[in-house]
Amino acid sequence: MRGLAAIGIAVYHRMAWANDVDLYSLGTFGVYLFFILSALTMMLVYERTFSDGIAFDDAATFFRNRIARILPLLLLVAVLWLAHSSVTMGYDPSVLARAVLTGTGMMALTPPGFTSTVTGAWSLAIELQFYLVLPLLILCFARLRFWHICLICVTAVAAQQAYLFAISGQDEYWVLYTNPLTFTPFFLMGFLIYKAGSAKQRGALALSLAAFALIAVYSLAWPGDTRQYGFLFLILTSLAFASVYFAYRSQLPEHFVVLASLLGNLSYGTYLIHPFVSLLTNKVVGLLNIGVGLSFAIYLAMVFIGAWVVYYGLEKPARRILRAKTRSISTLP
């Protein structure tokens, strides 16, 4: 599911930038699928670690792993985007400052809709905000029943909708929108799905893919700003929940397991490098004068190759090195 969401976001941006086709629901709620999946994954991995208390070593390991997972590629794309911006638009000290905040992850302590310099990186700031409080959240939510979390989710959605209503029509809507309250319900849904259990359900995979497909095409049938409060937002939120819920309860056919694992591994690279690949594709299209269909196929192929190179050339080695060095430091007297 993570791989599908990343590909969907890459498709959304390319269709919007090159073909002026609006798949806004796929672009926005594809990101929100990441938030649900992130909370679910963190519960699966760390629920036993933090459910009875938060030990310093456990918390240090958790934050070390998150830093090793996110920052190496984020720093790289922040530097690349700064270089691109400096060449195309000239040097700007404020852009440099924002690039530093983006590449170091410190944008998580700012309004990321303003400070983020890389397309999509704002969502990583939201993830980092979530990680800052995750050990405490797990400690609290591990003791709650399913229906308790349901009530908390409903309350969070109500607060979210009230906030979106309050900021509607305001200047700098995007900056106000990229606020933790806007996305809290999606993380809570990940906790809720975990509490619901992973009992396999016949037809769950088909239902998950159907919900994802509806998210993908929703804006074609019902155009509109999917960031605004109201019925459209709630429908898409329900579809995002259903997509992850049924994915968690599905049994993936064995011949798809390797592909699904690969797409999951490449999802982070796909998410962060596809804007650069789109720029490169434009250069290729201009030189070769090729059609829309072929240019789109070239774009997807280059995204896949780029994500593969980034994962095996940077992400995986950087995680291994950073985690090993931190472990060695932590053992010093």
- Check pLDDT > 90 for residue 30: yes
296, two tokens: 């789109």
CB neighbour list of residue 183: distance below 8 Å, 6 or more residues apart: 32, 35, 126
Quote the CA–CA distance of 170 and 69 in Å, as a whole number.
35
Average pLDDT, the chain: 91
Q: pTM for the whole thing? A: 0.92
Quote the CA–CA distance of 219 and 209 in Å, as a whole number.
17
- Check pLDDT > 90 for residue 1: no
Model confidence at 271, pLDDT cuts 50, 70, 90, reads very high
Environment class of 274 (CB within 10 Å of its CB; exposed 0-12, middle 13-18, buried 19+): buried
Q: Evaluate whether 111 touches 178 at the Cβ level (below 8 Å).
A: yes
Quick: pLDDT tens for 107-119. Answer: 999 999 999 999 9
If we measure between CA atoms, which residue out of 99, 100, 126 comes closest to residue 112? Answer: 126
